[in-house]
Amino acid sequence: MLLDSPGLAAGPEFARFAHRAKRVVYVSCNPTTFADDAAVLDRIGCQLKRARVFDMFAHTNHVEIVGSFGRLERS
């Protein structure tokens, strides 16, 4: 699943759709909503595997965050 959030939280339906995904790539320009939605993904069994911050607009405080989430490995 690829989600490119417009800066708002993904919304109440996010967990229902993400629950079926094996992998979620999440792009956000808002660190606060990224953290909130990452917590939702954690609750449904997705683990943050990798995250990067991109400074897309020099001399501003605007950044893009890209996180890759995958299902927890069960043993």
The pLDDT of residue 12: 67
Q: Is 29 a catalytic residue?
A: yes
**Looking up tokens 């995958």, which residue turns up?**
70
10-residue stretch averages of pLDDT, the chain, 75 residues long: 79 79 91 90 91 90 93 70
The pLDDT of residue 75: 54
pTM for this prediction: 0.81
Map out the domains of the chain as residue ranges: 2-65
Determine contact, residues 14/41, Cβ cutoff 8 Å: no
Q: Choose the catalytic residue: 1, 9, 29, 40.
A: 29
- For 31, half-sphere exposure in the C-beta direction (CA atoms, 13 angstrom radius) is 8
Kind plus residue range of the DSSP H or E element containing 46: strand 46-54
- For 50, half-sphere exposure in the C-beta direction (CA atoms, 13 angstrom radius) is 4
